[in-house]
A and B are shown apart, each in its own frame.
Chain A
Amino acid sequence: MDEQDSQRHMSVTQWDMQSPASSWRAFLALVRRDLRLATAQGAGGLQVVVFFAVVVTLIPFGLGPDLPLLQAIAPGLLWVALILASLLTFDRLFQADFEDGSLDGLVCGPLSLEGIVLAKACAHWLTNAAPLIAATPVLALLLNMDMGVLGFLILTFLVGTPGLTLIGALGAGLSVGVRRAGILIALLVMPLYVPVLIFAIGAIEQARRTLDAGGGLDLLEPNALFLTAASLVAGLVGVIAAAAGLRLHISG
């Protein structure tokens, strides 16, 4: 714990010395600092992956070991499990920095609050969403998923998860300072997740149908385009709203 604290403050002081540096370097510095803090914390990212695997493992016990059925529902199941796993971590996104005052320090630096949100969301994506996506092929094997569909599923993860992370940042930014905000954040972000989930599943279904018909993948098919648009809109709105939320909590 002491080591972590010193890392926090060390990075804040580094920050001050760097202040003339360009915003891009400041952005990268913040991402690197958050990654370092996450690795110092140890198994945080791993816990999320374990939860993801646990959810996916429980489903066959609930539905029966019917491989064709599991294969049919695998994309939706993996998407929902990924969403559940990602919901676990958003309450910690800004909380520690808010409580020990490093967020105030960051605000005084060269980055705008929007930039801070984006940098912290990037680090969060790399330490939480990326391990989940990496673990997906193994879990897909358990569900007897078709390889072509799996590839497309991972593609939708890559497109959709940045949007989901920034919506999570929105929930975290609005509720920063609230104790035990986990369930509150889940409630706040759930209605915002719906479009991304729908278009992702739609895109996968469409891809499955084309693959079954022997066709190639069409990345410009409407579902895929809507997924991209939904993720972009969610990300944009998420950054702006998360920064606005943090601003009101910081400015006191």
Chain B
Amino acid sequence: MFALANPHRFLSYSRVLTPWAGGLAAVLLLVGLVWGLAFAPPDYQMGDTVRIMFVHVPSAWMAMAAYTFMASASLASFIWRHSLADIAARAAAPLGLGFNFLALVTGALWGQPMWGTFWVWDARLTSFLVLFFFYIGYIALWEAIEDPHKAGRAAAILAIVGFINVPIVKFSVDWWNTLHQPASLIKMGAPAIHWTILTPLLIMVAAYTALFVALVLMRMRTEIFIRQIHRLQISTALDTEAPALG
């Protein structure tokens, strides 16, 4: 019963929190979209392509934030062996994959008018591509191991190892880049972003974050339901077998 206590408390908290996060996400998305598409001025250098930033930067941010969330939950799961941490890590992975996919594709759609090519092997894009494969591997590992307890432990180990790997990959890719390419690329995320661009950008970042929170909570609740259903199925199966055995 002690093990159940925390998921139960989580269920009651998350029941309140989820609709608020979802509502906040909807409102912020609407404001950010209208502001970003209609009111933000085109950039003097990048023209209207700057508007791609309003969907690109939030997804890139969420791809990394979801991964950090996943790795922290995995660390918690590894240390305290708490099933809720496993559930959290598992819930975040497909969302992180979705955001990572968006970051790659919107980055390519931005790159074509900016650099004249959909893809450049620059450090940032390459790191995200590697992270993309990592997400797929992480989800595949969850799917491949049938026992959810073991799958959770194995995935937690992988996420922690992957988290150690992130700065190494980033460093190596930066290194590789200076080795192979003249530094002639336009630097993204320059500090001198005008507030008329920065405000809708931050609104969109907040909107994506709120959406992630709402969806993660919902997926965690779903996973808890699934495990409860599983337990009920086992106990009813035992109940029906017990008289025959007795």
Contacts and interface: CB of A to CB of B under 8 A. Distances in A.
| Whether chain A touches chain B in the assembled complex (some CB pair under 8 Å) | yes
A233 B168 contact: yes
Interface in B130-175: 130-131, 133-134, 136-137, 140-141, 144-145, 150, 153-154, 157-158, 160-162, 164-165, 168-169, 171-173, 175
A67 B214 CA distance: 57
A198 interface: yes
B164 A237 contact: yes
A202 B178 CA distance: 11
A226 B133 contact: no
Contact of A174 (B133, B154, B169, B172): B154
B140 A184 contact: yes
B176 interface: yes
B130 A187 contact: no
Interface residues of A, number: 28
Contact of B137 (A191, A233, A245): A191
A195 interface: yes
Contacts, number: 80
B179 interface: yes
Contacts of B133: 187, 190-191
Interface stretch (A94-102, A119-127, A135-143, A175-183): A175-183
Contacts of B153: 248
A174 to B, nearest CB: 5
B150 A248 contact: yes
A199 interface: yes
A192 B165 contact: yes
Contacts of B161: 170, 192, 237, 241
- Using C-beta atoms within 8 Å of the partner chain, give the interface range for chain B: 20 to 34
A241 B172 contact: no
A226 B145 contact: no
B172 A199 contact: yes
A152 to B, nearest CB: 16
A191 B172 contact: no
Contacts of B165: 191-192, 195
Contacts of B154: 174-175, 245, 248-249
B137 A187 contact: yes
B158 A187 contact: no
Contacts of A201: 176
B212 to A, nearest CB: 22
B111 to A, nearest CB: 21
A191 B131 contact: yes
A230 B144 contact: no
Contacts of A244: 157
Interface in A145-191: 170, 174-175, 177-178, 181, 184, 187-188, 190-191
Contacts of A190: 130, 133, 137
A174 B175 contact: no
Nearest to B162: A191
B157 A241 contact: yes
A233 B141 CA distance: 23
B175 A226 contact: yes
Contacts of B173: 194, 198
Contacts of A199: 172, 175
A169 to B, nearest CB: 12
Contacts of B145: 175, 177-178
B125 to A, nearest CB: 13
Contacts of A237: 161, 164
Nearest to B131: A191
Contacts of B164: 233, 237
B91 to A, nearest CB: 20
Contacts of A230: 168, 172
A208 to B, nearest CB: 12
Given A174-B157, A181-B144, A198-B175, A187 B169 contact: no
Given A191-B162, A202-B176, A248-B150, 7 more contacts: A174-B158, A184-B137, A191-B130, A191-B133, A191-B134, A198-B176, A249-B150
Interface of A: 170, 174-175, 177-178, 181, 184, 187-188, 190-192, 194-195, 198-199, 201-202, 205, 226, 230, 233, 237, 241, 244-245, 248-249
14 contacts: A174-B141, A175-B141, A175-B144, A175-B145, A187-B133, A187-B137, A190-B137, A191-B133, A191-B137, A192-B165, A198-B172, A202-B175, A202-B176, A237-B164
